[in-house]
Amino acid sequence: MRVLGLNGWPGRGHDASACLVEDGRLIALAEEERFTRRKHAYGAAPVHAAAFCLDRAGITLDDVDAVAFGWDVPLLYRDRGIPYPFTDRTALELLLPARELPRRRDPQLVFVPHHVAHAASVFHLSGDKRAAILVVDGQGERESTSLAVGERGKISVIDSFPPAWSLGYFYDAVGRYIGLGPDQAGKTMGLAAYGRTGDASFGSFAMESDFAVAHLPADLMSRRNIDDSEEVIDGWLAHLERTCPLPPNTLRRRWDSRTARFSSVPDRDPFDYADIAATAQAAIEHLVSGFVDSVVRLTGEETLHVAGGVALNATLNGRLLHHPALRRVFVQPLAGDAGVALGAALHLCAEAGHPGAPMGAHLAWGPEFSPGAVRDVVTASGLRFDEPGDLPSAVADLIADGRTVGWFQGRAEAGPRALGQRSILADPGARETRDRLNLRIKRREWWRPLAPSVTSEEAPEHLETPVPLPYMVTTVPLRPEARARFEAVDHVDGTTRAQTVEAAEQPLYHELLRRVGERSGASLLLNTSFNGNEEPLVNSPADALSAYARLGLDALAIGPFLLRKR
């Protein structure tokens, strides 16, 4: 059974994506932003991503049995009292225009409830026969948090909470309040480590121990059935203004001469709001821990699967690793809405008797380019390059000399983290490296944490964790000697969002780490995403060359070729 999974409705939503699943096995997955170069692909259909997936498999839509969409769109219309205006044919034409994706027939179109798609994305790729499942995000059709159980290839939702109770919207409101702007949860999380925790209830924000009664700010409590994100966020902003010690940090549009464009600049330094960020982080951790207690009690399971946008909070995930009621935690690395395309497709396959295979220790399901194709693009650029006989050794030498290197290899990884396919790499030893990457290359806040990649064999020497961490979605403590040795990847609280790399899954990247270890004594590198500020990760050789030129990198390893700035 071939299923094309989609997320991204024209004019609505974010993180448009597409994947192709065959009999429960993932063939290809890509995010629309990587092709259009518009971060999060707001309001876009996944046309380019879908075309890539079909091309990767060498098929057309005529060869697809069903298209699975990760939202119940007709229900969204009905709940708002609006007649659903599409037939399956017109909806497919909206999502997959025939001029871009020609076909002789339309495949079946199936709408999968949003939180079911999130749950399926983690359960059907986990390899576990049974698990408690927690989905926490902004909202689905009618819910913002869902408690579920997966068993015998099926997912059953046990309980859910309405959008007014959205932890995703709460955290987004905090990011806006402190001057980081919308959709900046990762920044809020990074800033939180610098602050001191205050009243985590923000004056009125708690749950009863049995999770039967929710205590919300009064203006949200009186409108618990609202399902509009801006209404909920505005309610939180008003409440934060009443309860926080600092006024809202307003963003204003100003001309940035460095980038020759307008940008949003806060009235005050967001760092002044670190205590508010820390308090919000503590609130999220406390409330999600309570949800975990509840779903474990309701299901009797000691294995937990987590998905939804809030599950991209790596600090929260690090806390869940040590939850006393759990023996195993599996966080879907595509926890955001890009992952519901995958979940929707897996759900249809599972319903047809084709359960998913366990997820490998990588996310490299996107486009790749042959050495010939890379050579053509590099040659056309006019830049000088060579082809080292031993690329890992050549790059390791550059890093040992303090150089910052772009790394473009193999299939593009999915998700928000660079995992050794589209990365910027540097020596993790000096704090000055972090400052250079944040301020000069990424052009972002100095306090943003950076993360390491380390071979799985050597990880226990440097990280205080007994489990592999292939996806960079969990923070763990660095060992004391590692904190002193790797200052560029040591966050202020002593944690790091590490990636462990296995030779069987990523042989070239693992070999690079090993060669780095031969020179430095530690098979560990600073690894950050290969992109500029507010840009998607590079996707193609042309993207990589453009970023290499703009970002001030010292070298670029692209396929078998190496470019160096003299």
CA separation for the pair 375, 339 (Å, rounded)? 33
Q: For residues 306 and 158, is the Cβ–Cβ distance under 8 A? A: no
What residue spans of 382-488 are helical by DSSP H? 391-400, 431-435, 459-462, 480-485
Residue with tokens 């940035």: 256
Tokens linked to 445: 């806040």
How far is Cα 220 from Cα 214, in angstroms, rounded to an integer?
11
CA distance 250 to 273: 12
CA dihedral 485, 488, 489, 494 (to 10 degrees): 70
E strand intervals along 376-498:
405-408, 422-426, 451-455, 476-477, 495-496
Strand runs labelled E in 241-286? 251-256, 261-266
Question: How far apart are the C-alpha atoms of 46 and 31, rounded to whole Å?
Answer: 7
Dihedrals phi, psi of 124, to nearest 5 degrees: -75, -10
Catalytic residues: 14
CA distance 501 to 498: 10
- Under a CB-based contact definition with an 8 Å cutoff, are residues 337 and 5 in contact? no
Q: Which helix (H) or strand (E) holds 503?
A: none
Query: Tokens in use for 317?
Result: 């995930």
For 180, counting Cβ atoms within 10 Å of its Cβ (0-12 exposed, 13-18 middle, 19+ buried), the class is buried
What is the 3-class SS of 52-78, one letter each residue?
Answer: HHHHHHCCCHHHCCEEEECCCHHHHHH
Strands (DSSP E) contained in 23-138 are: 25-31, 66-69, 108-111, 130-136
Residue 386 φ then ψ, to 5°? -135, 175
Give, in order, the Cα–Cα distances in Å from 40 to each of 11, 189, 372, 391, 430.
13, 19, 31, 33, 32
